[in-house]
Amino acid sequence: MSQDKSLYEKRLSVHGKDKTPAPKPPRKPLRDPSPNFSGPGGARAGSPASEEEAGSEVLSHCSSASEGASAAEEGAGSEAAGEPGQEEEAEDRLKEHMDNLLDKSAKTRQAALQSLRLAFSSKTLSEFLLERRLMLTDSLEKCLKKGKGEEQALAGTVLTLLCLQMGSGPEGEEVFRSLKPLLVSVLTDSMASPGARQSCATALGMCCYIAAADLEDLVSCLSCLEGIFSPPSAGEGGSAPTQHGPLHCSALQSWSLLLTICPPSHIKSVLDNRWLKLPPLLSSTSVALRILAGETIALVFELAQDVEEDLCHQDTEFLRAQLKVLATESNKYRAKTDRRKQRSIFRDILRFIESGEYQEETIRFGLECMYLDSWARQRTYQAFKEVLGSGIRHHLQNNELLREIFGLGPPLVLDAAALKASKVSRFEKHLYNSAAFKARTKARSRVRDKRADVL
Q: Residues 257-292: pLDDT tens digits?
A: 999 998 888 888 877 776 778 888 888 888 899 999
Do 139 and 131 meet the contact criterion of CB atoms below 8 Å apart?
no
- For 46-55, what is the mean pLDDT? 43
Percent of the chain with pLDDT over 70: 71
Do 207 and 176 meet the contact criterion of CB atoms below 8 Å apart?
yes
Query: Positive or negative CA dihedral for 140, 143, 148, 151?
Result: negative
The pLDDT of residue 8: 47
More confident of the two residues 422 and 173: 173
Q: What is the rounded distance in angstroms from the CA atom of residue 433 to the CA atom of residue 236?
A: 53
Which of 1-15, 76-90, 417-431 is predicted with the least confidence, judged by mean pLDDT? 1-15
At 244, the pLDDT band (50, 70, 90 cuts) reads low
pLDDT > 50? residue 68: no
At 339, the pLDDT band (50, 70, 90 cuts) reads confident
pLDDT in tens, 101-159: 998 999 999 999 999 999 999 999 988 998 899 999 999 999 999 888 899 999 999 99
The pLDDT of residue 53: 45
Q: Is the pTM here over 0.95, yes or no?
A: no
More confident of the two residues 82 and 177: 177
pLDDT > 50? residue 169: yes
- For 214-233, what is the mean pLDDT? 84
The pLDDT of residue 306: 80
The pLDDT of residue 24: 45
Q: What is the rounded distance in angstroms from the CA atom of residue 403 to the CA atom of residue 411?
A: 8
In DSSP terms, which residues pair with 365 in a beta bridge? Answer: 368
The pLDDT of residue 359: 85
More confident of the two residues 356 and 66: 356
The pLDDT of residue 436: 82
Among 260, 197, 194, residue whose Cα is nearest residue 225? 197
pLDDT > 50? residue 233: no
pLDDT > 80? residue 415: no
pLDDT > 90? residue 317: no
Do 162 and 119 meet the contact criterion of CB atoms below 8 Å apart?
no
Q: Please state, rounded to an integer, the average pLDDT across all residues of the chain.
A: 77
- For 297-320, what is the mean pLDDT? 77
| Phi, psi dihedrals of residue 412, rounded to the nearest 5° | -75, 140
Q: What is the rounded distance in angstroms from the CA atom of residue 273 to the CA atom of residue 43?
A: 90
The pLDDT of residue 21: 47
pLDDT > 90? residue 446: no
Which of 62-76, 89-103, 368-382, 385-399 is predicted with the least confidence, judged by mean pLDDT? 62-76
Q: What is the rounded distance in angstroms from the CA atom of residue 263 to the CA atom of residue 307?
A: 10
The pLDDT of residue 203: 95
- For 232-253, what is the mean pLDDT? 64
Among 402, 331, 334, residue whose Cα is nearest residue 368? 402
Q: Angle 306-309-315 (CA atoms, 0-180°, nearest 5)?
A: 120
Q: What is the rounded distance in angstroms from the CA atom of residue 192 to the CA atom of residue 447?
A: 52
More confident of the two residues 7 and 39: 7
The pLDDT of residue 433: 81
The pLDDT of residue 74: 45
- For 55-72, what is the mean pLDDT? 42
Among 376, 401, 295, residue whose Cα is nearest residue 14? 376
The pLDDT of residue 80: 44
Query: Positive or negative CA dihedral for 284, 289, 290, 296?
Result: negative
